[in-house]
Amino acid sequence: MPEDRLPIIKNPSPRGRGRSSKKLLTFLFIFFVTLLAVLFFQSSLSKITVIEIQGEELVSEAEIGQAAAVKPGDHFFSVSSSSIEEQVKALKMIESVTVSKHFPGRILIEIKEYPKVAYQIGDGGQIEALLADASVVPITVQGVALDKPILTGWAKDDPLKTKLCLAMASLSPAYFSDISEIKPASSDSYPDKIKMYTRSQFEVQTTIGYLPQKMKNLESYIASLHENKINSGIIKMLEADSHMPFEAESAPSKDNGNGKPAGPQTKDPGKPASGAASNSAPASGATGKDAKPPSKDTPRN
């Protein structure tokens, strides 16, 4: 039959159309995602806009920012928090660092510095902070409050200064709130003896070895002196605790001009004057003795 000779045209399969549509949609999706990504990374949303630094006191923000090696305008996603922490931690006075990233564009750097125990004045007159291990950190930040004692009279590499810093670090900073200055006062009996000057007008003499024990009692000891109307003087906190007025220690060091100490040892200042007068009497008597007496032969004439 002629009808059997006609070729049969098959209808296109709906499966092929579906595959082509999926490929087109996938291509368009990838294209738009790529376009959006390019636009995003070119926009300000992908850049660092704010760098916040918290907890710094001895170190300036400029030093921390330089060590972190990041600045506003850098790509937000190309910066690693761990790398910033390692770089900032390399600063001498930094004990620990925590870095967190907050989208969009904010980086927070939280600093914890080594505790400072005292200050000292450097060779050039610059204020320097002493850390717990006696390492010295120049103060570059303006307007730092000197809320710690100032060490004066110490040699640069004095091992006793290191020992003192370690002892101070073991105590609460509150114990030193009244101390304004600490200087060495070594003696034969106490090689590590120190003198501390309080803002309440007392001089405290103790040793570095006694410091952790005695500092805990100093505040109450001064309070008891105030109750007894004693507002100044020398407090000795060695084997035993005692108080004496400033005059009692300074008097023996004074000289009255004849090589002998003056002050409390001289009970009656008027006695030397009368003694001098009595010494002058024999002198005048001696003068009279040397003069020739009246001649006994005169009446005979």
* Least-confidence region, from 8-17, 140-149, 214-223, 282-291: 282-291
Task: Indicate the pLDDT class of residue 290, thresholds 50, 70 and 90.
Answer: very low
The reported pLDDT for the residue numbered 9 is 60
The answer to whether residue 38 scores a pLDDT higher than 70 is: yes
The reported pLDDT for the residue numbered 265 is 36
Alpha helix stretches (DSSP H) within 194-257:
211-227, 246-250
> For the chain, what percentages of helix, strand and coil (3-state, to nearest 5) are there?
40, 25, 40
Beta-bridge partner residues of 206: 194
Q: What amino acid is encoded at 168 in this protein? A: M
Q: How does pLDDT run across 54-80, given as a tens digit for each residue?
A: 998 888 889 999 999 999 989 888 889
Judge whether 154 and 183 are in contact, CB under 8 Å.
yes
Judge whether 139 and 112 are in contact, CB under 8 Å.
no
Mean residue pLDDT across the chain: 80
Domain with CATH 3.10.20.310 in the chain: 45-113
Burial string for 187-202 (b: 16+ CB within 10 Å, else e) reads eeebebbbbbbbeeeb
CATH level 2 (architecture), domain 116-252:
3-Layer(aba) Sandwich (3.40)
Determine the average pLDDT of the residues in 127-138.
88
Q: How far apart are CA 119 and CA 77, in angstroms?
A: 42
Q: How does pLDDT run across 92-130, given as a tens digit for each residue?
A: 888 899 999 998 889 999 999 888 999 999 888 889 999
- The H or E element that residue 75 is part of is none
More confident residue, 150 or 257: 150
Domain with CATH 3.40.50.10960 in the chain: 116-252
- What tokens does 46 get? 């992908």
Determine the average pLDDT of the residues in 149-177.
94
CATH level 2 (architecture), domain 45-113:
Roll (3.10)
Judge whether 107 and 48 are in contact, CB under 8 Å.
yes
